[in-house]
Structure 1
C-alpha cells in the first residue's frame, strides 16, 4: 500500500494531476457538460446582437458566464456588459491548448443535466433589419 502511494505521487509528478473528463472540460470552457445551462458557438457570439436565450439563462440563480478568450473582445464585450448589468460573475477563458467551437457557456456550480443547452441557430433580428423590414412608411399604412 505504501508502494502504491509513492507510485501515484511519481505519476502525478511526471504527468500532472488526474483530471475528470478532460476533453469535456476543454470543450465547455473549463466546466462539465452536466453543469451547463446554455451555450453558444463562436460564430453565434460573433453576431452583432445578443441572443435572447442568454438573457433567459443568466436570470437563473447561481449561474456564471464563461467566455472564450480566443474571440476578439469586440464580440464578447456585449456579453460582459450584460453580465455586469445582471450582477453575474463572468470569466474569460484563455486556454490556448484546447480547441473548441464554443464561444459562451452559462453554467451552474452544480449539476443540472439539462438536455437542450444550445441556442437556436436562427440569427436574431437586429434593429437595423427590423427597420428595413418595416420600411419607411410602415407607420402610415397601419
Structure 2
C-alpha cells in the first residue's frame, strides 16, 4: 500500500466512508432530490391528513412510467403508517419504513417521500400543498365556517 492509500484506508476506518450530499439524503429520507416525486412534512400531515393520503394515492396511480416507492419516517404515528402501508399494498408499490434517529421529526421535516429508486425524475414541484393545491383549498374553505367565528365568554364579557 502506498502512503496515500494507507491514509485513505485509515480515514475511512476512523470517519466512515464518505457520502455524497449527506444533508440532502437526510432531508429526503435517504435519497437524492432529483429522484423525489412528492414530499409531505409532519406539519402538512397534522393540518390535513385526509388530503395528504389522497395526494399519495393520486401520485402513485398517476405515475405509470417509473417504479415509485414510499419512504416513511418512523416518527409518524402508527395509525397513519398503517394507512400508508394499505395504500402501498393496494397499488403494488414498495415502501420503506425508516426508523433511523438521524431523520428529523420537526414540523418542517419530511414525514413521507415518494421517489424513484432507480433513476432521476427531475420534478420541479414536489411539495404536496403546491402540487395538489385543490385538495388543500377545500380544507381551507371548510375552516372559514361561520360557526368557528363565535366569541368566547371573556370576549363577550369585555367586548374584545
Range class of TM-score, shorter chain: 0.7 to 0.9
TM-score, reference length from structure 1: 0.79
Please state how far the C-alpha of 1:49 moved relative to its aligned partner: 1.2
Q: Distance in 2 between matches of 1:75 and 1:56?
A: 17
What secondary structure does 2:124 align onto? coil
Contact 2:73–2:103 (Cα < 8 Å) also in 1:
no
Q: Over aligned residues, Cα RMSD in angstroms?
A: 2.2
Bigger Rg over Cα: 2
Does 2:100 match 1:95? Answer: yes
Counterpart residue number, 1:105? 113
Work out the CA distance in 2 between the residues paired with 1:105 and 1:83: 13
Consecutive unaligned residues of structure 2, counting only runs of 5 or more, are 146-160
Q: What is the deviation of 1:124?
A: 7.1
Q: How many residues align?
A: 128
Check 1:125–1:78 CA distance in 2 against 1; reply closer, same or farther (3 A cut). farther
Cα deviation for residue 119 of structure 1 reads 0.9
Equivalent residue, structure 1, for 2:75? 70
Distance verdict in 2 for CA 1:58–1:33, change over 3 Å: same
1:22-101 alignment to 2 at 5 Å? 22-46=22-46, 47-51=48-52, 52-59=54-61, 60=63, 61-99=66-104, 101=109
Shift of 1:77: 1.7
